[in-house]
Amino acid sequence: MPASDFLKHENKEVRLQVYLAHSGVASRRACEQIILDGRVSVNGQVVTSMGTKVSEKDEITVDGKKIFLEEKKRYVLLNKPAGFVCSSSDEKGRSVAADLLKEKYRERLYNVGRLDMYSKGLIIFTNDGDFAAKLSHPSSQLEKEYIVETSQNIPEDFPEKFQKGIRVDDVFYKCKKCTILKQRKLSIVLIEGKNREIRNVLEAQNIGTKSLVRVRIGCVNIDDLKPGESRDLTDFEIKGLLNLTSRH
């Protein structure tokens, strides 16, 4: 929805977290935390109240940078190379995945979900807070498929173990599906996807991870998208992702 239509729909004044989400800052829930953290100012005054209402006439900044309602919603698919972190900025000075999109897109885009620095493959970027929230919510049950190459042969019983669930350091990991493709190559489908889940599970089985690539998110496949390349999601893919999340 264009900014002008959005403000008309919302009677010109909207809650601050909604305005931030429609400005491509983050999902609405994440914007609420950004406000609580004291990172948002309205007309020069730091605001931490969820009830604050603003309009397009107000000057709103996040971390000192002025933000604007964005006219166009973007839904972007990136094939992330290894060596890039999934965050808006990095205190250690590491390369940020979103920077790969800056030449192509002027909008402020943020990642939906994450891939660790050493993992490669598909990640979705958007400036649509509601879309991001739906895809990220635990109830969405959105499948993510990974192709994993290992440094040791994979035991025949590993897929069954992972599908039933494996506990590592008091954390319970369980995949939806695990298939051995070769002696040292796996296909793994996750639903929840805890931090470094696949690497932690393999390490607990004394199996090293040589390469980890996310090749599918829901109905969206990697196809011929090369590392570092990006493209807009099609309308069909956007609707498909939303339909998958609404089934649960």
Pairing mode, strands 185-190 and 144-150: antiparallel
Task: Give the N- to C-terminal CA distance of the chain in Å, as an integer.
Answer: 26
What is the DSSP code string of 52-96? -EE-TTS-EEETTEE----SS--EEEEEEPTT-B-SS--TT---B
Strand partners, 15: 53
Catalytic residue, from 5, 99, 116, 235: name it. 116
Burial class (CB in 10 A: 0-12, 13-18, 19+), 199: middle
Question: What's the angle, vertex CA 122, arms to CA 119 and CA 126, rounded to 5?
Answer: 120
Q: Is the separation of the CB atoms in 36 and 48 below 8 Å?
A: yes
Provide the angle, in degrees to the nearest 10, between the axes of the packed helices 129-136 and 235-246.
50
Question: Dihedral angle at the C-alpha atoms of 43, 49, 53, 56, nearest 10 degrees?
Answer: 40
Q: Which residues make Cβ contacts (< 8 Å) with residue 234, sequence separation at least 6?
A: none
Q: Is 169 among the catalytic positions?
A: no
Furthest CA-CA distance within the chain: 63
In angstroms, the CA 161 to CA 165 distance is 6
Catalytic residues: 116
